[in-house]
Amino acid sequence: MLSPKHSRAATRHGGSMHPKPYNLFSEHLKQRFGGRVHKISVDAGFSCPNRDGTRNRPGCLFCDPYGSGSAGIESHLSITGQLRAGKEVMLRKYKAQRFLAYFQPFSNTYAPVETLRARYDEALAVDGVVGLAVGTRPDCLPPPVVELLGEYHRRSYFWLELGLQSIHDRTLKWLGRGHDYSTFVAAFQRAKQEGLRVCVHLILGLPGESREQILDSVEEMNRLGVDGVKLHLMHVLKDTELGRLYGAGQVGMLSRDAYIQLVADVVERLAPQILIHRLTGDGPRDRLLAPLWSLKKWEVLNAIEGELRTRQSRQGSRHRG
């Protein structure tokens, strides 16, 4: 019989101790490093060409002044300071010993190569940091930057996280992304030529996109051979253009049930070897306008797992490859 503590953990992580019906990044890390590895989000002080006026202004529709960063990033600290503070929290909460420095908000390859090198090196020098995850835009990956990332791929454990959101140019234009799909494909191919692991961010539930269009984005990820995906629920933050449109009643949100069905459809079509870094998104509590059901993240994750078990399916069960 499970102890109350283990029973609580089982419920929180999906209601059973059976293997997950999908290929979770966190499990992959556990196997690779022999124990849990936690990501610590870092604001390294970069900007974004879609916010500073180089490409567009004032940025993607959904982006807030924090550059889509997580809650709790202590941007006033140095990179070392942020990682040390994050480690303390992770140690207290999870007794964690190993970490990935996650360069998350804004565009973390948007600087000269030597600046990038200095900031990545600072993170890797922090005790317990076993690798890097670097989030950026497809139009911030010129060849010299990709070559630099290749160095980090060879000397550490490295993931490139590439924001795409949708393969459909009409949607990208509506979102104000400032790049098209072909720009993404070119950047992705440069990254793969350098041997990088690439995780692609997609947003599910974007206004104007049908279920079929969303599934087309997923099939395209299979075709390209991405290494990982991060699935985000479309959510609305304060101080964003999307928030203004939402307030004016011009955009709707997916219901919780619709999201769960949609994610299950996506997971079934995703090639089985692709690592799922995230299945939903929960915006920072104090900055989230909608949908508020997303704040109950563990309930949503449990419901997604439950839906796949009810369907008796799993990741890749409808993959055409």
One character per residue 125-154, x = contact with ligand SF4 (rule: CB under 6 A): ------------x-----------------
Q: Which helix (H) or strand (E) holds 303?
A: helix 297-311
DSSP 167-186: S-HHHHHHHT-SS-HHHHHH
Instruction: Out of 20, 38, 51, 278, name the contact with ligand SF4 by CB under 6 A.
Output: 51
Tokens read off for 58: 């004032």
Min CB(292)–ligand SF4 separation in Å? 21
- Range in contact with ligand SF4 (rule: CB under 6 A) among 56-64, 273-281, 293-301, 307-315: 56-64
The DSSP letter of residue 205 is: S
- Range in contact with ligand SF4 (rule: CB under 6 A) among 15-23, 45-53, 145-153, 311-319: 45-53
C-beta neighbour count of 119 within 10 angstroms: 21
- Range in contact with ligand SF4 (rule: CB under 6 A) among 59-67, 144-152, 194-202, 240-248: 59-67
Min CB(137)–ligand SF4 separation in Å? 5
Is position 107 an interface residue for ligand SF4 (rule: CB under 6 A)? yes
The DSSP letter of residue 24 is: B
Instruction: Out of 50, 171, 222, 294, name the contact with ligand SF4 by CB under 6 A.
Output: 50
Radius of gyration of the chain (CA): 19
Kindly give, in sequence order, each residue whose CB lies less than 8 Å from that of residue 236, ignoring residues fewer than 6 positions away.
62, 242, 243, 246, 251, 253, 283, 288, 289, 290, 291
Q: How far is CA 279 from CA 176, 275, 293, in A?
A: 24, 11, 15
Instruction: Out of 14, 131, 163, 205, name the contact with ligand SF4 by CB under 6 A.
Output: 163
Q: Which stretches of the chain bind ligand SF4, using CB under 6 A?
A: 48, 50-51, 59-60, 63, 67-68, 106-107, 137, 163
